[in-house]
Structure 1
Amino acid sequence: MIGIRNITQITIGGVSPFNIADHVALPPFTLNNIRDLYAQYTHETHQPFSDEAIQKVFEETQGQPWLVNRLGSILTLQVKPKTTDEIKLSDIEKAIQIVINEKNVHFDYLFEKAILYQKTVESILSREVKYLPYDNAQSWLIQYGVIRKSDQHAVIANPIYQKILSSLLSTKMFNSQKFKKKIFISYCHDDRQWLDRLTFYLNQIKHQNIDIWFDDSIQTGTNWSVAIADAIQTSHMTICLISPHFLNSEFIRETEIPAIQARQDEGMIVFPILVESCLWYLIDWLKKMQVYPKDNNFLSEFDEKEQKKQFIEMVTEISQLLSSE
């Protein structure tokens, strides 16, 4: 979650009330919370904040904890350092421009989540969008802290995020941001041999800033269904290993595929691989897509030499698809 699930690199050295430990879960600050936080600094240094300045911080951040603390640091360490002069409304404007133009991990997270749900973010930035509690993209963007509900509309979480994301969109930088690309692999455990064959070749393109996720990545004690749902939501591509076992799996059919389809609507690439003979062509969702191998043959029908050739061709195409994202 942007600034709520992960709060990182908040303060610049020394003891400061604007220091929050890494990986702290916090709800948005209220106006009174911000007033109290800044009062701690005033008590220690005798440098006051005007009421208008505090109100402006609240309006621009909507209480987003990282932003509130980062602005506090910028105000006291860059805009008006080592003085007891009052921090005024004009100082807040300067601090906002500094934070908007700086490079930091927090905004990297923001960009990463916005790219995953680019279509929804673009819609919210460009027009009024009705808040839909059961909309998959909106639900995840709210959890990540990118958007919030305002009256009956879905809006960007705060004006600072609005400025940053609007700038990103206007300069057409969404697709050019160089973030790690994640591949989620959907498969049935009965097809483990095919998973192992595929990952042997996928591992060879990891140096292209590609991450590969399947259920072996789930740590002991983790709720595996939640982990899988989160992996799908944060992936740029899903590879489906299509077989009779895959099509017969209730969990894949009822849980994974709806989540994959929802992400596909937001631009995630789906790459179906036919591994064993099955009735895939009767599945509306699958028959509308390009399947691999491209001649619609099943990998199990090829000899060993041809299988290797097909894996190399498919992984090459996977690399090219992710590179063009």
Structure 2
Amino acid sequence: MRKYFNIAGPCNSNDHYMVSAIERNKNVLSLIEQGQYFVIYAARQTGKTTLVKSLVHHFNSQNDYYALYCSLESVQVFTEPNVGIPEALNNLKFAVNYSKLPHRQDFAKGLDKKDTSTLIRSALTDYCSELDRPLLLFIDEIDGLQNGTLITFLRQLRDGYVNRPEIPFPQSIALVGMRNIRDYKSKIRDGRLTLGSTSPFNVITKALTIKNFSPAEVENLYAQHTKETGQVFDKTAIEKVYDYTSGQPWLVNAIAREIVAEILDNDFSKNINAELVGQAAQNIMLRRDTHIDSLLERLKEESVRKVIEPIITGEKDAINITDDDTQYCLDLGIIKSEGNVLMPANKIYAEVIIRTLSYNTQYHLTGQIKNIWVQGDGTLDMNGLLKAFQQFWRENSEIWEEKYQYKEAAPHLILQAFLQRVVNSGGDISREYAGGAKRMDLCVRYGKNKYPVELKLDYGKKTIPDGLNQLGEYMDKLGEKTGWLVVFDRDRSKLGKKKYFGKQKRWAVKPSISSGDESCSAKLPLGSHPKKTVLYDSRKKPAGQPCRRLIPVSHREASTSTPHKPLSTTI
């Protein structure tokens, strides 16, 4: 049978294209050989189970150890140890019975299941005493244990650990789950359960996490498909995949599978290019596969909202990297820290976070808002579009904001739902989170045209000047000469013209000579805002090219600008 890209369950090298899990995590081997107890934690579908099953196969194929894999997923509903511990033992017994280990029939034989304080330790000790090699135990879904069951289970592991080698017990144990061991401690503390003077968590030597694929590993994975089928992933396609996914293993496999099996219907004669990657990514985002859906279900959790909301609004210093909520979101794989800035873990997550939080609004707007802003030449009337949104916001903002759990981010989400309603007819929106910069950048693409939009919440006198500078930089990045700045003022005490207005300004940037190089510079006031900071632009350009024209736009609540049609109505 031909191999395929796997998106459901652990991978194995016989059926699936895969990057060697052990090769990617060689440090695990030394911990096992040293007899350590440790944690392997990572987000769902990043390769945890694939790694531990690979390790079990690796050690069982040699003659030094016996290795056992056991999942405790089914135990999560049992929080009290008098029920949870016997259920955990049942899972261990099931795993042993269906393994190839010797003396399987003797595991946990004759034990009194009522003695929950020693049940797990006794079962493992009795079994290890019968084996002629050390036992390695890999316990998956350790997150399944809750409250008193978790404490009792870990206490017995610790008791067995500290009494080795006099009393037989597994040589090495790996606890595998989505969370680091510190998060188990936090969960117990929140539940007001005492850990006593001897913490059961002290048994753990090290906590390891599984990293995303590197660009080279993505290329390696796809090369396996090329070798088997002759179908080539263009270099640009591989780069595009990494740009979308940041190497998240499930997404890397899902995009490849979507292209090969769904879009091309296993026609291996066609090479895979960047355009197909973009199409596959869009399909995955719109379809909301189980991986995406389960991850985004977390957005409803208050601990997640506290972290994601300021990332959306770009609020500065609002997130403490050491907080349990922040670490929780990092462990879930929803966000990452890059250059000391917290942001969505990859571009696909960044997109589906906004789409998920704004989808209900977008759905209802489809019936309320008629798309009249696509012009005859295929361009968007961004002035008219944003002016219409200004009116919509003026009339409906309080009603719509109340519907949002993410109330601080509601302006951003509602505007993007409004824009998405329009561009769905022939375009898309690219979003850039600017963590800590108090803004979000949008590139509305429609047909062959790009429309840069900068979103900000009003935080004082520097909001508009800062926004114009940031918008100018974003316009440069996109190679566009026109952009729009939208500022939301949350001050409900302001009325009428003080709260809703639109301004349009045009800057002609004159060249000046500096140190022998030609540069563009401008320093002009903001018309009706003489006290505002002026925009200053000094950028080198290629000789012989005209300097670009900066179009500063200032708005409160929602406002628009263009070099072609200045707004004539102030709301």
What is the TM-score with the length of structure 2 in the denominator?
A: 0.27
Structure with greater helix share of residues: 1
Higher relative contact order (CA 8 A, sep 6+): 1
Structure with greater strand share of residues: 2
What is the TM-score with the length of structure 1 in the denominator?
A: 0.46
Is the radius of gyration larger for structure 1 or structure 2? 2
